[in-house]
Structure 1
């Protein structure tokens, strides 16, 4: 195994059901020399009622060929196994997503960890137990299709919401103990969650890094402050929330993290920029590639 399997970025396609923008994204990826593109299968009408739509999947596969690229995938954002009463419904959609990701040759498929509105400790712990059971089942599906599930840390959108700190998510993945289930460390999400819970971001992120086979790279100020703004540019001006900003625009300590953290062997670095920042894609890819070199040099000297 190598220290880093490769680098890529998330395709910024939305409302692109004929995959025309996706084809342009893939051409950009080839021009930039990245190894992977993350396909947003949650936004492509690939699944209806928990089942794959064969004709749409076929069109997607045609759009992806022939390319000198590897692929990862992002599953539906709504999948949430902490919603115990809806777990079977979430599982059917997640299973179809794993199957679709495997069909396009993705090596990883990302799902978010759960979130809930609850303050009772027993109820929260029951929800975590339920999530472990369902992710383990999903891991079995992934194993049958030769793909890895990467569970991503998220952040609470209000004080009423409960979700895992990065260290808790690391503990949950260790407890699942499945060879096809690892973590996706989202650095900005971790910074926001830690700020909202007054936790040590570097220590928390380092705990999840050890379980991370997939990374979501984008910048922010790690600021959970709720403040009314008029436009996305104003959120950026104030440095609020999960900006998904180009690397270097926020204040996440990238150099320190690359020198300090150790990820899973064969980790994939994936840049996540929304369409509004696509003009900065080239610079951010270069910044990420420089980060990877710092990380690899540290592993070589370890």
Structure 2
């Protein structure tokens, strides 16, 4: 039996524990068994520190529910950061401590970016030398080793990345084989992969690799999933408005399962025989009322396997 869950949207709750409770109640009513909590939507980490009084309030909410939890660290966390990697490491450590206290076994971390999305406007895309990339990969690997070693009972799940027109490749996370090589370099039992289905589909089309072969290759490295739908079309980093992208099948849509062209069934067919992690839907907040539909569509795909 596979466990299906949904993320709590950080923008939707925006620090409100009342909204957190309301969304958890909604998830409970539709029969979800797992939830991904965004520390960056809960105001529980400030300037790299876990805020215990806020955490205590969150724990007071969570005690009324019986979900399995995973945690999403803040999106901008980047252990390749050139200005203050120490602060980024502190934020990730605080995310892991949050996970420990809410008894979550997974913390999602976005693969290190040579050039972070937050700086796309400030810097034109440029190719990095092999030496520059190697130095950044080594720095991230050392930090991942040190950080994961402090929380051996929590798995850090490194997420594969989406592509951007005119900026890719900005991270090794766009390429499944490079992501796998980085985890081999880290060589820690609790540093694995969060397979984002939508990102995988987009990068397979953008970079021209075989999606199903990539899933097969990643195999036992996959400890967590983000499941959502799209049509595969990459966009520029400044294109944010979903209503302008959807008519043309473009963007990292994070739609309900069944709305796009993503081959979710074939991915599950490869993944599920040996997979023991959560099937975590990651829909945009605009689709909150469609989470039940997405769950039902995902369940239908699983029954066909």
- The structure 1 segments of at least 4 consecutive aligned residues displaced by more than 6 Å after TM superposition are 227-230
Partner of 1:299: none
How far off its partner does 1:230 sit? 8.9
Within 2, Cα distance between the matches of 1:80 and 1:292?
A: 34
Within 2, Cα distance between the matches of 1:284 and 1:56?
A: 32
Partner of 1:125: 134
Point out the more displaced range, 225-234 or 149-158.
225-234
Partner of 2:171: 163
Partner of 1:270: 280
Within 2, Cα distance between the matches of 1:135 and 1:219?
A: 30
Within 1, Cα distance between the matches of 2:274 and 2:185?
A: 17
Cα 1:228–1:45 change in 2 (3 A) is closer
Number of matched pairs: 290
Unaligned runs of 5+ in 2: 116-126
Aligned pair partner of 1:202 in 193, 212, 229: 212
Aligned pair partner of 2:18 in 17, 20, 44: 20
CA RMSD of aligned residues (A): 2.2
Are the equivalent residues in 2 in contact too, given 1:142–1:149 (CA < 8 A)?
no
The structure that is strand-richer by fraction is: 1
Within 1, Cα distance between the matches of 2:4 and 2:23?
A: 15
Partner of 2:156: 149
TM-score (norm. length: structure 1): 0.88
Partner of 1:103: 101
Q: Counterparts of 1:1-302 in structure 2 under 5 Å? A: 4=2, 6-14=3-11, 15-117=13-115, 118-143=127-152, 146-161=153-168, 162-164=170-172, 165-226=175-236, 231-261=241-271, 265-294=275-304
How far off its partner does 1:173 sit? 1.4
Match of 1:8, SS?
strand
After superposition, the C-alpha distances for 1:97-121 in whole angstroms (9 at most, x for unaligned) are: 1101211121211110011234211
Within 2, Cα distance between the matches of 1:229 and 1:115?
A: 19
Are the equivalent residues in 2 in contact too, given 1:71–1:107 (CA < 8 A)?
yes
Within 1, Cα distance between the matches of 2:235 and 2:33?
A: 36
Cα 1:16–1:85 change in 2 (3 A) is closer
How far off its partner does 1:174 sit? 2.5
Cα 1:227–1:8 change in 2 (3 A) is closer
TM-score (norm. length: structure 2): 0.87
Within 2, Cα distance between the matches of 1:160 and 1:204?
A: 22
Cα 1:228–1:153 change in 2 (3 A) is closer
Within 1, Cα distance between the matches of 2:262 and 2:88?
A: 33
